[in-house]
Amino acid sequence: MRTSRAFPLDRGGPERLTLSWEGPYGDARAALDGVDCASFDTAKLRRRGDTVALPDGSKLFVRVRGLLGLEVRRDGVALPGSDFDPKIVLRNAGILLVVIGGPIDAMTDAVRVSRGGPIGWPVWLDGAMLVLGVATALGLRFALALGAAAFVTRIALLPERSTLTLMFGVIGTWLLANHFFAASPRKR
């Protein structure tokens, strides 16, 4: 069975590049504007990735990154809609915070409150981080920065460390480094 994914070369543009492969990334090929233009070394796709030249002179880098998805870069920049597109990475991080961190953190807060622990600041900061996690999933970059501030506040104010707080810290720190402070995309 042949699988394929299509990508625009520019944000908001038409899907011009199609990657297709047989089975689990076997016989991988690229087509630009419906014309086959390159094939990939499938062994390289899983290890370091493979780079091919497109007809327009640009370089296309593709790498299978396991659970992280398919890394697709043109001249070092992630293609819009690809798994490493900054907007997709931001959305996935927000979803991870809300879907995994939220319920686990709610349980730890419930246990703490049932043992007579404080309700105030910890629960309010956790609520703020959940709301900011949803806003981050919707693509609002400022929500990530505010969530990181809530994370720092939570760590500074309380001796116990909740799961959501730690997750926001790890994911938020990584995203802030990649989205706000990265000087330019890394070249391959």
Q: Where are the alpha helices (DSSP H) in the chain?
A: 42-47, 86-96, 102-114, 120-137, 141-157, 163-179
Closest CA to 15 of 36, 32, 39, 29: 32
What is the residue-level pLDDT of the chain in tens, covering all 188 positions?
Answer: 778 899 999 889 999 999 988 876 677 889 999 988 888 877 787 788 888 999 989 999 998 887 777 889 999 999 998 988 888 888 887 787 777 777 777 777 777 778 876 667 667 777 787 888 888 888 887 887 787 777 777 767 666 666 666 777 777 766 666 655 443 444 44
